[in-house]
Amino acid sequence: MIEILFSAPESYGGKYIPPIREALDSFGLAHRIETECSDPERVDYIICAPNGPVTDFSPFTHAKAVLSLWAGVERFVDNPSLTQPLLRMVNPGMTAGMVEYVTGHVLRHHLGMDAHIRREKPEWQPKIPPLASERRVSVLGLGALGQASAQALAGLGFDVAGWSRSPKSIAGVRCLSGANGLEEALGRAEILVLLLPLTVETENILDAARLARLPEGAVIINPGRGPLIDDEALLAALDRGHLAHATLDVFRTEPLPGAHPFWHHPQITVTPHIASDTRPAHAARVIAENIRRGEAGEPFLHQVDRSAGY
């Protein structure tokens, strides 16, 4: 019998536990899932959200892995009590949702759709957009979500470059890395998409100096992590006309406070962290597969590199 602790807000249980049970049953894995634990040493796996009740993992001395329900693991990696293998959530539903958000908003800005959607008075001033092949898009972050988004944009014909800390090779995408690669990715980006993880190295990666490297009139789309951008520097770049627009789905504080200037800025679109979410049915299959792997002694999927922070 595999003993599993489900540590997440109460509202998660009804959505996630039934499909996880179904997925484990499909593998023939006898299991018991509990939401409270009286004997930590009996627990084989912990399925958890960063905002769940378990914050001290040290009593779970026999746990083979901690499986996160979230893609972002910045709240976990600095927890000294979490010494078990940490597995982040990557699944096809999450990837598809991110690709749809990114391509939708890149096309929106590429085609200049806001000028038509927000028209306040009759106006006939055609402005023909360039073709996608004439629009330079850069994607910062080439993990699972960034790679899929970059490939989708390249498939639509956009001139796509991607930047990552370590070198990557992706068909149809100009792959850049290192400090010089970052400067090149910024300097060419008429539309910039941020899909980096949040680490010590990436926090405020778009500061005033790097925002100034973007071409005049550039657009930023951030469905990655809020602290990737220096908020004040972004507002200043928009106010002086260097940047045309920013579409933001993630923020330092969520929900975004009602008095925050992002809500009221005419060149900022706020979306309420909807770019991609963990869909229980898809997540359940990934969780069950990793538990199957743990029981079979096979390598886990999506194991976090603690030194890199993701």
The yes-or-no answer to whether 2-91+278-296 and 93-270 have a common fold is: yes
Residue of higher predicted confidence among 212 and 78: 212
* pTM score of the predicted model: 0.92
pLDDT exceeds cutoff 80 at 110: yes
Residues 235, 126: Cα–Cα separation, whole Å:
29
Phi-psi region of 162 (alpha: psi -120 to 50; beta: other; left: phi over 0): beta
Pairing of the two strands 65-68 and 268-270: unpaired
**Average pLDDT rounded to a whole number, residues 99-105:** 98
Reported as a pLDDT band with limits 50, 70 and 90, residue 37 is: very high
- pLDDT (0 to 100) of residue 123: 81
The per-residue pLDDT for range 235-249, each reduced to its tens digit, is 999 999 999 999 999
- pLDDT (0 to 100) of residue 70: 94
The per-residue pLDDT for range 279-293, each reduced to its tens digit, is 999 999 999 999 999
Average pLDDT, the chain: 96
User: Mind telling me the catalytic residues?
Assistant: 225, 273
- pLDDT (0 to 100) of residue 121: 80
Long-range contact pairs involving 151-158 (C-beta distance under 8 Å, separation at least 24): 152/99, 152/102, 152/103, 153/102, 153/103, 153/106, 156/103, 156/107, 156/132, 157/131, 157/132, 157/133, 158/106, 158/110, 158/132, 158/133
Reported as a pLDDT band with limits 50, 70 and 90, residue 201 is: very high
The per-residue pLDDT for range 149-186, each reduced to its tens digit, is 999 999 999 999 999 999 999 999 999 999 999 999 99
Q: What CATH number was assigned to the domain covering residues 93-270? A: 3.40.50.720
Task: Please state, in angstroms and as integers, the Cα–Cα distance from residue 178 to each residue in 19, 137, 139, following that order.
Answer: 41, 18, 14
Long-range contact pairs involving 300-307 (C-beta distance under 8 Å, separation at least 24): 300/65, 300/85, 300/87, 301/87, 301/90, 302/87, 302/88, 302/89, 302/90, 303/85, 303/86, 303/87, 304/73, 304/76, 304/77, 304/86, 304/87, 304/88, 306/77, 306/86
Express as a percent the part of the chain with pLDDT over 70: 100
- pLDDT (0 to 100) of residue 66: 98
Residue closest to 98 by CA, chosen among 51, 159, 139, 49: 139
Q: Tell me the helices (H) and strands (E) count for the chain, helix number first.
A: 10, 12
**Average pLDDT rounded to a whole number, residues 250-257:** 97
E strand or H helix that includes residue 5: strand 2-7
- pLDDT (0 to 100) of residue 308: 87
CATH architecture of 2-91+278-296: 3-Layer(aba) Sandwich (3.40)
Question: What's phi and psi for 111, nearest 5 deg?
Answer: -85, -10
pLDDT exceeds cutoff 90 at 307: no
Is 194 strand, coil or helix?
Answer: strand
Q: Where are the domains of the chain?
A: 2-91+278-296, 93-270
Residues 243, 136: Cα–Cα separation, whole Å:
15
- pLDDT (0 to 100) of residue 166: 93
Express as a percent the part of the chain with pLDDT over 90: 93
pLDDT exceeds cutoff 90 at 214: yes
Question: What's phi and psi for 57, nearest 5 deg?
Answer: -95, 0
**Average pLDDT rounded to a whole number, residues 187-191:** 98
